């Protein structure tokens, strides 16, 4: 099913982002870049931010530190070799207790997006340097698309045939946005809008993304941007 992303879904998402003149961040596994390099090249040509997402979507929480580090280095090399891109950002799949230490000690990533523990970016220090953590959110399409079913037929967030309706996803995105926009009157607010090409790249769910972006853009002060630009803004703010 995930092959749909590179065959159709990613291209549909690129069209939607281009339609709205919205720049985003594409989190790409090293193995995905090797198998579908034309997608990553199109993403780079369109001017989106690009970050690593492990090599083959490994569950890092189940791996020893030396294996996790090897996979980080392998992914970085793939991007340099095939895309000419020295990635500055990272989002681990299922972060381990060692992930942040490994990033601080053995990489030059400017930002990480593996944690789920805050609403706003924050700086982590260690091993003589800093990295900006840009937290992930659990209201991504992978979470919202799955409906709760009986134990005899357990759901899987990676299937599109057993899922909540697109309308449910739109209402969930809208509710999160409305709450954050209201809070943004008095303090900073960030909404990590996370979609996957093999889920939201399908026609009915792509329309959800299209409609949601159109909805959010109506509001004064709303900015869509990539993690790299957000990291730059935050560093300037935190160090000023």
224 pLDDT above the threshold of 70: yes
Tokens of 102: 């490994």
| Residue predicted with more confidence, 154 or 228 | 228
Question: If DSSP codes are grouped into helix, strand and coil, which group holds residue 31?
Answer: helix
The whole-number pLDDT of residue 143 equals: 72
Nearest alpha carbon to residue 51 among 13, 98, 9, 88: 88
Q: Which pairing describes strands 129-133 and 122-126: parallel, antiparallel, or unpaired?
A: antiparallel
Total-model pTM: 0.91
The model's confidence at residue 190, banded by pLDDT at 50, 70 and 90, is very high
Residues 49-68 pLDDT 10s:
999 999 999 999 999 999 99
Nearest alpha carbon to residue 89 among 227, 192, 224: 227
Q: Which residue, chain included where needed, has tokens 């931010």?
A: 49
Where residue 54 falls (left for φ over 0; alpha for ψ -120 to 50; beta otherwise) is left
The whole-number pLDDT of residue 149 equals: 53
Residues 75-102 pLDDT 10s:
999 999 999 999 999 999 889 999 999 9
Strand order across the 49-52 sheet: 25-28, 49-52, 89-90, 111-112, 129-133, 122-126
44 pLDDT above the threshold of 70: yes
| Dist CA 65 CA 77 (whole Å) | 18
How far are the Cα atoms of 39, 46, 107, 155, 207 from residue 15, in angstroms, in the given order? 12, 10, 33, 30, 12
187 pLDDT above the threshold of 70: yes
| Dist CA 163 CA 165 (whole Å) | 6
The whole-number pLDDT of residue 147 equals: 57
Residues 130-173 pLDDT 10s:
999 999 887 778 777 665 555 555 656 556 555 678 888 899 99
Q: What is the mean pLDDT of residues 190-199?
A: 92
How far are the Cα atoms of 24, 31, 62, 111, 120 from residue 189, in angstroms, in the given order? 17, 34, 33, 18, 7
- Average per-residue pLDDT for the chain: 91
The whole-number pLDDT of residue 164 equals: 77
191 pLDDT above the threshold of 60: yes
The whole-number pLDDT of residue 23 equals: 96
């Amino acid at each position: 099913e995930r092959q749909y992303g590179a065959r159709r879904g990613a291209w549909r998402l690129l069209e939607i982002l281009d339609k709205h003149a919205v720049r985003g961040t594409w989190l790409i596994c090293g193995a995905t870049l090797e198998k579908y390099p034309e997608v990553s090249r199109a993403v780079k040509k369109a001017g989106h931010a690009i970050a690593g997402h492990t090599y083959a979507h490994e569950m890092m929480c189940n791996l020893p530190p030396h294996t996790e580090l090897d996979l980080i280095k392998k992914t970085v090399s793939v991007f340099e070799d095939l895309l000419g891109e020295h990635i500055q950002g990272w989002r681990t799949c299922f972060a381990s207790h060692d992930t942040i230490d490994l990033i601080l000690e053995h990489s030059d990533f400017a930002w990480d997006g593996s944690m789920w523990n805050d609403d706003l970016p924050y700086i982590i220090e260690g091993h003589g340097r800093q990295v900006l953590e840009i937290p992930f959110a659990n209201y991504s399409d992978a979470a919202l698309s799955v409906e709760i079913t009986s134990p005899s037929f357990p759901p899987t967030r990676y299937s599109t045939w057993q899922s909540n309706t697109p309308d449910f996803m739109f209402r969930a995105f809208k509710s999160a946005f409305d709450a954050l926009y209201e809070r943004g009157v008095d303090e900073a607010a960030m909404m990590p809008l996370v979609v996957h090409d093999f889920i939201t790249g399908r026609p009915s769910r792509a329309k959800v993304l299209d409609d949601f972006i159109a909805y959010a853009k109506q509001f004064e002060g709303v900015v869509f941007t990539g993690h790299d630009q957000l990291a730059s803004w935050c560093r300037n703010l935190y160090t000023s």
